A and B are shown apart, each in its own frame.
Chain A
Amino acid sequence: MTQFSVPWQPRPAHPYGMASRAVIALAQSVYGFAAPIVSRFPGAILISAVIATCVGVWMHSVLFGWVDTQLIQAAVTLPDYTPPALSLLSPSTWGLTPSVIHALRVDETVAASVAGLLDYVLWPVQFWIVRDVVGLGALFGLFNVIPVYVIWWERKVAGRIQSRLGPMRVGGWHGWAQSPADGIKLILKEDLVPAGADGPLFRLAPYLTIIPSLLAFLALPFGATYVLRELDVALVFILGVLGAEVVGVILAGWASNNKWSVYGAMREACQMISYEIPMGMALLVPVICVGTLSLSGIADVQQGGWFSWIAFSNPFCFAAFVCYFIASLASLKRAPFDLPEAESELVAGFVTEYSGFRWSLFFFAEYAAMFVICAIASIVFLGGWHSPLPASWGGGLGDGLLARGLTGLLFSGPIWLMFKSVFLLYVQLWLRWTLPRIRIDQVLYSCIQVLLPLTMVLVFGATVWTWASTGHNALWSTVEAATRIILGSIGLVFIGGFIAIAGYGFYHRRRMVGNLVQDVMPGS
């Protein structure tokens, strides 16, 4: 009777080279001196880091603005100025040389105390490629930070909804380092491709899902000047790109040679066909009301404060906002529509065979797309980067540095867009942890037989409404004002209700129900 033979031979230990040794040494030393500092007051570090990035982004836009206004406009007046041409190879066409910048600056109000160093710093700022590299770097950073912290936040919100704490241990204050730690753990996991799977397709699928959500960030405006590429068809571009994400999911399901993944892929295909049209039609309604497809154009219409927002401009846009939100849940495979990766039926749907870094790529794509969808919703329906206070109130502040900072915070700036999209994200998190999952035929029924006709009616209604309001007769403008007031107050009631419930919950929060026995039971 033989002891059962071990078919698996352990792989030979891999002789790690110079590079990996250096990386390990670096990591250990960083951990050595950083750990005591971070573990003492992690919360303060985290919050100051967030504030620092916000101020950094703002200062970067101020610098670029200053260079544009002060240097380049002034330089155009100089006779021998040649605009920085695109071909980087010939130095002669490199635009303003440092000496020219110095000359311009000397007679400017900027103190001449800083010698030539500033000229060399300012010189590259005038080229478009430098700006795009900085912009792309910022987008890559945002694209990485958002999923990491939305995942952590979702686990905290889920904990709170389920009367538990959520991650509390990693990194100290409320487990803020939980997702980065998970990320590192996932990178270290074994790079597994199942036998019989279609190797190249299996490896390609995660990238086909993550690139579209990255592309969507290109045309997404975060503020009046904070946009990498100002497209006049930004809305259609983002919808098209997010639509392309489905191909990656279907390939992932198909290539992993697992029946459950195939089911996941088929469900994703059905769901995609059913939600794509209602979502597009729902976004068409505000476009009809405003008249342009460019997101900046749509946002500029909504500067007049809370009641000027499109969601409250007419009943059709209000209903379109709700329809869009529901259809976007289906597009993100979340909450009641999370059939493609249904844990209880399909084990894990199309990601069953994925593990480690590839698996985390899928979830990067999902959470990034979630943020893009919420950002579009807040730009198109909820006034984008304009605050509830009408912009006209902030007119008198002038345009000094402090004044621009104040208007950015109070009246219109990227902070407001982040507030709104993060709030919509918060709503999506509630839905996931309270609602059960619906069946695939109910998804098709709700999207095709309910949402589609509804959005068609809304589009028709919006056309009639805009046609009527072009006549600008007195009666109609009073009707419009009335609807804005009514719908705006409905919105206020919702927000007030939310704050009241949150306050009530906070006021009545009870100590976490402890262990009954240990409290009183003698001798136990």
Chain B
Amino acid sequence: MAPEEICKLLTTEFTDAIVKTVVEGAHPYVQVSPDRWPDVARFLCDDSRLGMNLLRSISALDLLSDDRLACVYDLMRIVVDRPDVLITETHEFAIRVETDRNEPVIPSVADVWPAADWHEREAYDLMGIRFTDHPDLRRILCPDDWEGYPLRKDYEFPLEYHGIPATTEYELPNPRH
């Protein structure tokens, strides 16, 4: 199915949940409101026409200008009807979920796609987006007692960690390294 039909199908199914649909450009996606996102996710995964069973990646965005954080879910469909046949057609689609920047909360979809477990932990670790009823929300890449969320635009670098001096340039307002 082409991205336009997917957008049309989603808007008909969840008229209230869809905030914005973007079809032209290199990355067609649909923006979904956070509280209805688990139902949309369940629908995307289980519906026969869509069947998006492979969650490729969750990219966390920092939209500093309009003071919001966002997660972009890239989905793909692997249909395995006849096991030994080469699969050549699939369709891919993206969903964006935005939340407020000060206390960002997005419901977790780890129960729909188990692959989301680690991606959400990474989004929490690097961007600070808290995922409600996630099985084990801990930092995944940074040490457990690290303060701050590195990937945020307004993140200022710590000058030392447990006595180990950081080697960035100190006086620069916005150190580039």
Contacts and interface: CB of A to CB of B under 8 A. Distances in A.
In the complex, A touching B (Cβ < 8 A): yes
Interface of A: 1-4
Nearest to A3: B165
Interface string B154-177: 000001100111000000000000
Contacts of B165: 1, 3
Contacts of A1: 159-160, 163, 165
A86 to B, nearest CB: 72
Nearest to B163: A4
A3 B159 CA distance: 13
Contacts of A4: 163-164
A353 to B, nearest CB: 28
A451 B105 CA distance: 63
Contacts of A3: 165
Nearest to A2: B163
Q: Which 8 A/B pairs are nearest by Cβ-Cβ distance?
A: A4-B163, A1-B160, A1-B165, A4-B164, A2-B163, A1-B159, A3-B165, A1-B163
Given A1-B159, A4-B163, 6 more contacts: A1-B160, A1-B163, A1-B165, A2-B163, A3-B165, A4-B164
Interface in B127-161: 159-160
Contacts of A2: 163
A358 to B, nearest CB: 35
A422 to B, nearest CB: 54
Give the interface SS of chain B, mostly helix, strand, loop or mixed: strand
Contacts, number: 8
Contacts of B160: 1
Contacts of B164: 4
Nearest to B162: A4
B165 to A, nearest CB: 6
A3 B160 CA distance: 11
A1 B164 CA distance: 9
B167 to A, nearest CB: 12
A358 B159 CA distance: 45
8 contacts: A1-B159, A1-B160, A1-B163, A1-B165, A2-B163, A3-B165, A4-B163, A4-B164
B169 to A, nearest CB: 15
Nearest to A1: B160
A381 B150 CA distance: 71
A2 B159 CA distance: 12
A2 B160 CA distance: 10
Contacts of B159: 1
A369 to B, nearest CB: 47
A286 B30 CA distance: 82
B163 to A, nearest CB: 5
Nearest to A4: B163
A444 to B, nearest CB: 36
A3 B164 CA distance: 8
A4 to B, nearest CB: 5
A2 B164 CA distance: 9
B68 to A, nearest CB: 36
Contacts of B163: 1-2, 4
A3 to B, nearest CB: 8
A156 B163 CA distance: 49
A1 B166 CA distance: 11
A118 B160 CA distance: 83
Nearest to A5: B163
A3 B165 CA distance: 8
A2 B163 CA distance: 7
A6 to B, nearest CB: 12
A3 B163 CA distance: 7
A4 B160 CA distance: 11
Nearest to B165: A1
A109 B145 CA distance: 94
A225 to B, nearest CB: 71
A8 to B, nearest CB: 16
A98 to B, nearest CB: 79
B166 to A, nearest CB: 10
A94 B60 CA distance: 97
B171 to A, nearest CB: 15
Interface in B89-133: none
Nearest to B164: A4
A1 B160 CA distance: 8
Interface in B53-78: none
A4 B162 CA distance: 9
A4 B163 CA distance: 6
A2 B165 CA distance: 9
A7 to B, nearest CB: 12
A248 to B, nearest CB: 41
B157 to A, nearest CB: 14
A73 B161 CA distance: 88
A294 B143 CA distance: 66
A75 to B, nearest CB: 84
Nearest to B160: A1
A177 B159 CA distance: 53
A344 B111 CA distance: 35
A2 to B, nearest CB: 7
B177 to A, nearest CB: 19
B132 to A, nearest CB: 38
A476 B69 CA distance: 94
A1 B165 CA distance: 8
B161 to A, nearest CB: 11
A1 B158 CA distance: 12
A4 B164 CA distance: 7
B70 to A, nearest CB: 37
